[in-house]
């Protein structure tokens, strides 16, 4: 694992990104999109998992405009309070531009085969859904994104495969909103939406408090298949 610097497209400066490389190249690249806790141990483990599958993994620091290199857990109220404050101040539209820059950087990395996608969790799950609508990523995977029902108006812009994982007991995403996402994406030739019964938000967070091994294993398998099909 190493940290690289990426220059923001708006001239605001540079931001860090965790880079984890696979044993063999050329390989496709995956931009791993952080939760509200920054590039923490869970995201490092996620990048290691992606690299073990044979992908170049790149996880950009999305909160850098507020505070660089945030590294929090889901274990204490103080960390939750800080993470939620960072999320509430985070400009998602600017974050998408940083993610597009990270995607272009990933494609240009030595050993990349020119294909790149995203995998996002929580806040990152929402951003991965937005990347499917606003970027040229070759594939996007969204884990328990919140408020996805507010993004349904742009579904017509999805031009590459999008995998959506929804927790059926997500405390941060009301059932009515989840149902709208399921209904709106049903039958879309490029979108695969899966609901995981009994699973709570963050069911696939590595080392998280609400992990659900069964749901995570099934979801991760579906994600792996989509990534391999799109990225090689």
pLDDT in tens, 125-184: 999 999 999 999 999 999 999 999 999 999 999 999 999 999 999 999 999 999 999 999
Domain of 54 in residue numbering reads as: 2-231
- Select which of 74, 138, 149, 201 is catalytic: 201
- Select which of 170, 188, 200, 212 is catalytic: 170
> CA angle 35-37-41, nearest 5°?
95
The domain that contains 175 carries what CATH number?
A: 3.40.50.1820
pLDDT in tens, 27-75: 999 999 999 999 999 999 999 999 999 999 999 999 999 999 999 999 9
Distance CA(205)–CA(215), nearest Å, equals: 11
The helix or strand, by DSSP H or E, that contains position 163, with its residue range, turns out to be strand 162-167
| Mutual angle of helices 92-107 and 123-134, in 10-degree steps | 70
**Residue 130, C-beta contacts closer than 8 angstroms, at least 6 positions apart:** 92, 96, 151
Please count the structural domains in the chain.
1
**Does residue 201 carry a catalytic annotation?**
yes
**Would you put residue 93 in left (φ > 0), alpha (ψ -120 to 50) or beta?**
alpha
Q: Model's pTM, two decimal places?
A: 0.97
Distance CA(16)–CA(74), nearest Å, equals: 22
pLDDT in tens, 175-226: 999 999 999 999 999 999 999 999 999 999 999 888 999 999 999 999 999 9
Cβ atoms within 10 Å, residue 105: 21
**Does residue 154 carry a catalytic annotation?**
no
């Amino acid at each position: 694992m190493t940290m690289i610097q990426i220059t923001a497209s708006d001239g605001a400066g540079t931001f860090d990104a965790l880079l984890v490389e696979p044993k063999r190249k050329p390989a496709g690249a995956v931009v791993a999109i952080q939760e509200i806790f920054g590039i923490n141990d869970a995201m490092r483990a996620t990048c290691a998992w992606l690299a073990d599958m044979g992908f170049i993994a790149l996880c950009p620091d999305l909160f850098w405009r507020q505070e660089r290199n945030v590294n929090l857990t889901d274990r204490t109220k103080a960390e939750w309070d800080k993470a939620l404050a960072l999320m509430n101040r985070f400009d998602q539209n600017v974050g998408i531009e940083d993610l597009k820059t990270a995607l272009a950087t990933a494609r240009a990395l030595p050993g990349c085969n020119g294909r790149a996608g995203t995998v996002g969790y929580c806040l990152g799950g929402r951003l991965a859904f937005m990347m499917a609508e606003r970027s040229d990523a070759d594939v996007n995977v969204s884990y328990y994104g919140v408020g996805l029902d507010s993004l349904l108006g742009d579904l017509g812009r999805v031009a590459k495969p999008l995998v959506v994982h929804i927790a059926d007991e997500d405390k941060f995403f009301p059932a009515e909103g989840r149902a709208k996402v399921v209904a709106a994406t049903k039958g879309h030739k490029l979108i695969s939406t899966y609901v995981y019964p009994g699973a709570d938000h963050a069911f696939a967070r590595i080392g998280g408090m609400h992990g659900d091994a069964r749901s995570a294993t099934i979801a991760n398998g579906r994600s792996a298949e989509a990534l391999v099909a799109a990225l090689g």
